[in-house]
Amino acid sequence: MIPNLADLAVQGAQMALVLAAAPLVTGLVRKVKARLMRRRGPPLLQIYRDLARLLRKEAVVADNASWLFRAVPFLVFAATWVAAALVPTFATGLTFSWSADLIAIVALLGSARFFLALAGMDVGTSFGGIGASREVMIATIAEPAFIMTVFTLALVAGSTQLSTVAAAMATGEVGLRVSLGLALIALVMVAVAENGRVPVDNPATHLELTMVHEAMVLEYSGRHLAMIELAASLKLTLYLSLVACVFVPWGLAGPGSGALAHLIGLAAWAGKLAVAAVLLGLFETSVAKMRVFRVPDFLGAALMLGLLATLLLFVSRSL
């Protein structure tokens, strides 16, 4: 388990790469949505400029904000980044993947959400409260649905280690299964909800009564806001990479494979992310946002699908 230098390099490259690529993915989704609405849309790199601009600005903090308010952006960013670093993007043999498994990744994202919801309530405004309250309501159904998906994957692959799961999926022995299909649908629904995308939440809105995530972070500005935006981008990339590495694991470089395999893996990952971003943009433009109290029905369906997939595997290992 003592890591050697090459593995460390792969792990480090992966962490840096995810961080660097995350805003681009968000930018691509925005661009696709804009083009589908026959707008030109901001350039792909605009989001990097926005982040740089936010970082340079002074942070305006409410008079009665506590230390928690100022610590949370960094905590949220760190928890999301660590979770993202554990998801195989272009190579499976991640050095530190044994330090936390898929259940821990779910819980790390849960930690980020916990602190963000607390920060929403710190200043004591009604918008912070509404955002935090709705966010935790969504999470109380999305998280068990996610856990059920994790159970399904773990039962199919015989492990909760994401690297092992991805490697098992890539072998082709798993094949097409009903349970995996159900788990894929459930996971996508969870991803849509957790990232605050249409139809659950609208990342572009600032209309008070329809927003969830944006209401929670309403009081943030400057570098704090930049960290939160970056964490949101990271989370989107994490979910897309997760779906990609489990359900379309082709092209992933195995542990100890050469530079060429890693290059292929990189290209494959970029391709998968691009396809996923385009699909997400397409999906978001084609549906309308739901009322808040329709969301539990939507996510309840995801929970039931996840439970059904797990049940199928308890009934028969080959379903």
Q: Enumerate residues 90-129 that contact other proteins by CB under 8 A.
A: 96, 98-101, 103-104, 107-108, 110-111, 113-114, 117-118, 120-129
Write phi, then psi, for 91 (nearest 5 degrees). Answer: -140, 145
The values of phi and psi at residue 41, to 5°, are: 80, 160
What would the DSSP string read from start to end of 194-262? HTT-TTT--TT---GGG-SHHHHTTT--HHHHHHHHHHHHHHHHHHHHHHHHHHS-TTPBPTT--HHHH
Q: Which residues, in sequence order, are CB contacts of 53 under 8 Å at separation 6+? A: none
Residues 244-303 that bind other proteins (CB under 8 A): 292-293, 296, 303
By CB under 8 A, the count of residues binding other proteins is 88
Identify which range of 141-149, 237-245, 263-271, 273-281 contacts other proteins by CB under 8 A.
Answer: 141-149
Closer to other proteins by Cβ: residue 13 or 311: 311
Q: Which of residues 187-246 bind other proteins (CB under 8 A)?
A: 208, 218-219, 223, 226-227
Which span sits near other proteins by CB under 8 A: 40-48, 155-163, 250-258, 271-279?
155-163
CA dihedral 207, 120, 213, 215 (to 10 degrees): 0
Query: In this structure, are residues 7 and 262 in contact, taking their beta carbons and an 8 Å threshold?
Result: no
Instruction: Give whole-number Cα distances, 192 to 22, 75, 146, in Å.
Output: 16, 23, 12
Asked whether the beta carbons of 276 and 243 are under 8 A apart, the reply is yes
Q: Indicate which single residue of 21, 36, 137, 301 sits in contact with other proteins (rule: CB under 8 A).
A: 137
Q: Looking at beta carbons only, is 278 or 292 nearer to other proteins?
A: 292
Among 161, 179, 237, 241, binds other proteins (CB under 8 A): 161
* 143 forms part of the interface with other proteins (CB under 8 A): yes
Out of 29, 32, 154, 190, the only residue in the binding site for other proteins (CB under 8 A) is 154
Asked if 64 is part of the footprint of other proteins (rule: CB under 8 A), the reply reads yes
- One of 32, 130, 187, 234 touching other proteins (CB under 8 A): 130
